[in-house]
Amino acid sequence: MLAAFFDQISKTVIVSTMIVSTLISVLSLTIAIIATTTARHVKRRYKTLLRGKEGANLEQMLLANHEEVERVTDRLATMEQSLKDHESRLIKKVSAPQLMRYNAFAEPGNDLSFSMALLDENGNGTVLSSIYGREESRVYAKPLVKGESTYSLTPEENAIVRGESIPVQKLQKRAR
């Protein structure tokens, strides 16, 4: 039966089948050679990548970088907390003392009386006033909370708390 099958197949079909098989084999061999060459090239590049420029292992470099990033992150968190602490303390410090000199009385003379505001950024602090006279001098301290005092403030003290300055001439007119 097998012999009858081969008898019916012509020699040209057998030759053409052999040629096609040979071509497929050659093509497969070519693809295999190209794939092997490419794999070698990729493997060489991979080893170079793992080794690094100066022989350092890429994995070790990545681990070292990761540890460094963690250290920097921890240090940044510490610095941010320190900055917040400093900012909260700065708010409570006297930010810009204000001083105003004036003549408290109508009599002629030097502007030896003064008011000084010592306030933090929230308007908390004190106002110091010194009233100078020929016979006596007095010093007053009035506490402030958010720019307000439980004691009545003079116009000069109010002006200095608000950061304004009143010209000396106006104060002298008001005193007369």
CB neighbours of residue 126 within 10 Å = 15
- Structure tokens belonging to residue 138: 């007095």
Higher pLDDT pick, 147 / 19: 19
pTM for the model: 0.50
CA separation for the pair 73, 77 (Å, rounded): 6
Instruction: Place 6 in a pLDDT band, splitting at 50, 70 and 90.
Output: low
Mean pLDDT of 128-143: 89
The single-letter code of the amino acid at 3 is A
DSSP conformational letter for 153: P
CA separation for the pair 138, 136 (Å, rounded): 7
Reported as a single tens digit per residue, the pLDDT across 31-76 is 999 999 999 999 988 877 777 556 667 777 888 899 999 999 999 9
Question: Residue written as tokens 């408290």?
Answer: 104
What average pLDDT does the structure give for the chain?
83
Looking at residue 2, its pLDDT comes to 66
Looking at residue 40, its pLDDT comes to 95
CA separation for the pair 120, 88 (Å, rounded): 11
- Structure tokens belonging to residue 60: 């070790």
Looking at residue 15, its pLDDT comes to 82
Of the candidate ranges 34-43, 110-119, 150-159, 164-173, the one whose mean pLDDT is the lowest:
164-173
Percent of the chain with pLDDT over 70: 84
Mean pLDDT of 14-26: 91
What is the helix (H) or strand (E) element at residue 74, kind and residue range?
helix 58-91
Looking at residue 173, its pLDDT comes to 45
Q: Residue 90: which residues within 8 A CB-CB, separation 6 or more?
A: 121
Measured CA distances, 59 to 14, 41, 104 (Å): 58, 21, 80
For residues 142 and 153, is the Cβ–Cβ distance under 8 A?
A: yes
CA separation for the pair 66, 60 (Å, rounded): 10
Reported as a single tens digit per residue, the pLDDT across 75-96 is 999 999 999 999 888 888 887 7
Of the candidate ranges 22-31, 136-145, 146-155, 157-166, the one whose mean pLDDT is the lowest:
157-166
